[in-house]
Amino acid sequence: MIYFFVQGSAKKPYRVTFEGAGASLRSFCTCPAFSRGGYFCKHVSALLVGDVTNLTGGDENLKILQPRSEGSPLLSDALLHQPAASKRHPSSINTLDAALIHIARRSKDKNFVLMSIDPDDYDKNRGGISIHKIGKHGKPLKQPIASFCYSEARLETHFVMATDGELREVTTAVPRARNWVVLRGNHASSFSSCGAAVAALDEWFENI
C-alpha cells in the first residue's frame, strides 16, 4: 500500500490509500464520499493526475503511483473528473491536460483503455496517452491502436564515416517543427496546435 494525506474541507487532512496496480489498482479515502460507500473521490482523482495542490504528506510516493496507475480504470475516471473541460469542442482545447480529459471520455465510450506516454532520454518534456483495445482475456492489448502525444524532439537516424573508415549508424534527437503528434493505426501525423491534433483524433473516433 502507498499512502498520501490530502487537505480537504475538514480540519484534519484525509488519508488516501492505493493498493494493487494496473487494472487491479484500488483506492481508499477517509473523506465523506468514501464513507457513504463510494469508490472514487476528487482526492483520489487529484493524485492520479498529478495534482499536488492540497497534498500535505506522501509526496515521495507519487513516483510510485504513476506506473501503478497505468492501465487502471481509476486513471480514466480521474481524467474524466472534470466534465466541463471534456465537453469542449476539440478546436478549443489547447493544453495537454484538457486534451487527455477529452480523449479519456471518447475512449470510455468505445471501451478502450488508456496508458501514459512518459518522457524518455531524448525528450524530457514528452507526454501523452496511448489507446488500447481490450483483448480476449479482458486485458489491454500491448500494441496501441492510436496515440496522442506532445513531443519536442524526433529521432533521426543517419550514417557517418568513422575515423577507422567504417560507416556507423547514429541516432540523434532533432527538434520538431510541429509538436503535437497523433498516431492512428500505422498513420502518424504532426500538428502545430493541440486543437488541430485533437480534432484529427476525434475524426478517427467517429469512424472507428
88 & 168 share domain: yes
The pTM is what? Answer: 0.57
56 & 106 share domain: no
Q: What is the pLDDT of residues 154-196, one digit of tens each?
A: 888 888 888 888 888 888 888 998 999 999 988 899 999 998 9
**Given 47, 76, 105, which residue is the final one in a domain?**
76
Q: Give the DSSP H/E element, type plus range, for residue 32.
A: helix 32-35
Q: Domain limits at 163?
A: 82-208
Number of domains in the chain: 2
69 & 109 share domain: no
19 & 101 share domain: no
178 & 138 share domain: yes
Collapsing DSSP states into helix, strand and coil, what is residue 33? Answer: helix
179 & 149 share domain: yes
Angle at 178 between CA 146 and CA 105, to 5 degrees: 35
**Given 32, 60, 76, which residue is the final one in a domain?**
76
88 & 187 share domain: yes
164 & 126 share domain: yes
Q: What is the pLDDT of residues 70-120, one digit of tens each?
A: 888 888 778 766 544 445 567 678 888 888 888 888 888 888 999 999 898
**Given 41, 57, 76, which residue is the final one in a domain?**
76
112 & 137 share domain: yes
53 & 122 share domain: no
Return all residues near 151 (Cβ < 8 A) that are at least 6 apart.
Answer: 123, 125, 126, 128, 176, 179, 181
